[in-house]
């Protein structure tokens, strides 16, 4: 018998080729080729300047729209004007100084009488804080940060004298049926000094904000959930991409003229009309009829834009 000698180097090469053959055979059996493995990986999110949501674009109907965890309203017919509801109480300052930035602090006490330190995340936040002037000419959504003891701090801009109201929206994780309940509590406060109310613009369905044209459509009606459509254009063309804001494409809030009742409006996605550039959609519940001031906030890149509308809601 003739014996062939194999050098250690050739022996190592043979083992390597055998290992590669086994790897390819396994990949084929699993239905995944090296090329398929590369193309099946999730692509990176777009840069902040272009937004990170593309639902409704042509050929992108399967892209999920922003969603929020399931919550139920603590008061279906609530107006958000009470400082306390179902054992939860908003405690805050009654006045702040005029003419200079300041820190506004508040906390929520729970049914056990202690300050709440645990919240159910909702809209990518633990609490939402709104500042509104009584004549509805000044509206701001402001970031709030919680200390370890449950006290929340809000960095207020310089305010002109007048009457204001602070609204806090949060979800409590201790509902008896297992579904978190969402609360809207508010308290008035005063900025000392002489002030005069400013008249609101006439009702309209279209306005501009920082060069963008914003239009709203929908059959408004009090005490009923209604669908809204929000069209945002730049240079006569629909804006294609939006940076996510509070787990949605836009954030909408409305306040009733006179008593300042709060309307909850939920961003629900984007219509697939117009080759994927259709209007944004939202579900609104206006608890009262009358005149409302509706605010639409949207973010492009790292800049927030706010469009304000005066609307009439029939009974």
Relative to beta strand 262-270, strand 212-217 is: unpaired
Q: What are phi and psi of 186, to 5 degrees?
A: -150, 160
CB 225 within 8 A of CB 283: yes
Name the nearest CA neighbour of 157 among 137, 131, 135, 136: 131
Q: How far apart are CA 267 and CA 256, in angstroms?
A: 19
pLDDT one-digit tens code per residue, 293-315: 999 999 998 899 999 999 999 99
- The per-residue b/e assignment along 9-20, b for 16 or more CB within 10 angstroms, e otherwise, is eeeeeeeeeeee
Task: Please determine, for residue 78, whether its predicted confidence score (pLDDT) is greater than 70.
Answer: yes
Q: How confident is the model at residue 48 (pLDDT cuts 50, 70, 90)?
A: very low
Angle at 283 between CA 45 and CA 180, to 5 degrees: 80
Task: Please determine, for residue 60, whether its predicted confidence score (pLDDT) is greater than 80.
Answer: no
Name the nearest CA neighbour of 300 among 238, 254, 258, 255: 238
The residue whose two tokens read 């919550």 is 71
Segment among 19-23, 152-156, 166-170 with least mean pLDDT: 19-23
Classified by CATH at the fold level, domain 72-191 comes out as Immunoglobulin-like (2.60.40)
pLDDT (mean) for 72-78 = 72
Please give the mean pLDDT across all residues of the chain: 80
Kindly list the domain boundaries of the chain, sorted by start residue.
72-191, 206-313
- The per-residue b/e assignment along 84-121, b for 16 or more CB within 10 angstroms, e otherwise, is ebeebbbebeeebebeeebebebbbbbeeeeebeebbe
Task: Examine domains 72-191 and 206-313 and report if their fold is the same.
Answer: yes
Work out the percent of the chain whose per-residue pLDDT is above 90.
63
Task: Please determine, for residue 41, whether its predicted confidence score (pLDDT) is greater than 90.
Answer: no
Task: Please determine, for residue 227, whether its predicted confidence score (pLDDT) is greater than 50.
Answer: yes
Q: How far apart are CA 35 and CA 191, in angstroms?
A: 65
Residue 70 pLDDT: 64
Q: Is 70 helix (H, G, I), strand (E, B) or coil?
A: coil
Cα distances (Å, whole numbers) of residue 52 to 127, 265, 268? 23, 22, 16
Segment among 65-69, 77-81, 219-223, 259-263 with least mean pLDDT: 65-69
Look at 45 and 73; give whichever has higher pLDDT.
Answer: 73
Q: What is the enclosing helix (H) or strand (E) of 129? A: strand 127-133
CB 252 within 8 A of CB 294: yes
Name the nearest CA neighbour of 151 among 127, 115, 190, 103: 115
Q: Is 297 helix (H, G, I), strand (E, B) or coil?
A: strand
Task: Please determine, for residue 161, whether its predicted confidence score (pLDDT) is greater than 70.
Answer: yes
Q: Is 10 helix (H, G, I), strand (E, B) or coil?
A: helix
Classified by CATH at the fold level, domain 206-313 comes out as Immunoglobulin-like (2.60.40)
Q: Is 141 helix (H, G, I), strand (E, B) or coil?
A: strand
């Amino acid at each position: 018998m003739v014996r062939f000698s194999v050098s250690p180097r050739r022996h190592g090469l043979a083992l390597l080729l055998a290992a590669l053959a086994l790897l390819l055979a396994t990949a084929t059996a699993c239905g995944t080729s090296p090329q398929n493995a590369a193309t099946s990986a999730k692509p990176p999110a777009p840069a902040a300047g272009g937004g990170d949501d593309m639902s409704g674009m042509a050929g992108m109907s399967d892209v999920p729209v922003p969603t929020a965890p399931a919550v139920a309203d603590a008061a279906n017919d609530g107006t958000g004007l009470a400082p306390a509801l179902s054992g939860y109480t908003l405690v805050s300052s009654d006045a702040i100084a005029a003419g200079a930035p300041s820190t506004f602090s508040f906390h929520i006490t729970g049914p056990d009488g202690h300050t709440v330190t645990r919240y159910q995340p909702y809209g990518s936040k633990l609490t939402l804080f709104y500042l509104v002037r009584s004549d509805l000419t000044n509206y701001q959504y402001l970031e709030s940060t919680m200390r370890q003891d449950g006290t929340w701090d809000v960095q207020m801009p310089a305010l002109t004298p007048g009457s204001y109201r602070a609204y806090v929206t949060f979800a409590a994780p201790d509902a008896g049926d297992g579904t978190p309940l969402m609360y809207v509590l508010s308290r008035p406060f005063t900025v000392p000094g002489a002030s005069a109310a400013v008249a609101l613009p006439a009702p309209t369905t279209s306005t501009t904000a920082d060069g963008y044209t914003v239009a709203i459509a929908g059959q408004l009606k009090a005490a009923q959930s209604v669908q809204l459509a929000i069209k945002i254009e730049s240079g006569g063309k629909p804006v294609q991409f939006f940076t996510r804001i509070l787990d949605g494409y836009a954030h909408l809030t409305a306040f009733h003229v006179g008593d300042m009742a709060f309307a909850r409006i939920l961003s629900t996605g984007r219509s697939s009309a117009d080759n994927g550039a259709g209007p944004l959609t939202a579900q609104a519940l206006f608890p009262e009829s009358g005149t409302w001031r509706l605010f639409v906030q949207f973010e492009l890149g790292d800049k927030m834009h706010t469009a304000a509308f005066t609307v009439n809601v029939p009974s």
